[in-house]
Amino acid sequence: MSYEEMETLISSMKEKLDDTTSAMVSEDLLGMLGSYKGLVDSIAEKDEEIGKLKADKDELLAVNGRLFQKIGFDKEESKEEVEQPQKEEVQIEEIINERGDLI
């Protein structure tokens, strides 16, 4: 329901009431109309923000797509293996003599 339709409905309700009842209910109806206007404005702001965010998302997807095309998908990062220094193997016979003493 648009704001204008709500305003028309409330005006119609006021006209159907007699003067004393209209005076008592008028303040409440104006409060409802003001609250409704605030909610409609809030929804419009949120819709605008959602539209901007969707546009930003679409732009980011396009930019990222172009970047991926530039660098390519098939390239894998080469993992250079760090060569471990050759460890010198030491035989037990070289450090312990026949009697079990360290050399």
In a domain, 94, yes or no: no
In a domain, 49, yes or no: yes
In a domain, 76, yes or no: no
- pTM attached to this predicted model: 0.53
For tokens 């990222």, what's the residue?
64
For tokens 């404005």, what's the residue?
41
Does the pLDDT at position 4 exceed 60? Answer: yes
Query: Cα separation of 17 and 26, whole Å?
Result: 10
In a domain, 17, yes or no: yes
In a domain, 37, yes or no: yes
In a domain, 28, yes or no: yes
Q: How many domains does the chain have?
A: 1
In a domain, 64, yes or no: yes
Say which residues have a Cβ less than 8 Å from residue 103's Cβ, sequence separation at least 6. 94, 95, 96, 97
Supply the range of the domain harboring residue 26. Answer: 3-71
Q: Residue 48 gets which letter from DSSP?
A: H
Say which residues have a Cβ less than 8 Å from residue 1's Cβ, sequence separation at least 6. 9
Q: Looking at residues 7-36, what average pLDDT do you find?
A: 86
Q: Residue 77 gets which letter from DSSP?
A: -
- The listed range with the strongest mean pLDDT (69-73, 74-78, 83-87) is 69-73
Q: Looking at residues 9-34, what average pLDDT do you find?
A: 85
In a domain, 48, yes or no: yes
Does the pLDDT at position 55 exceed 90? Answer: yes
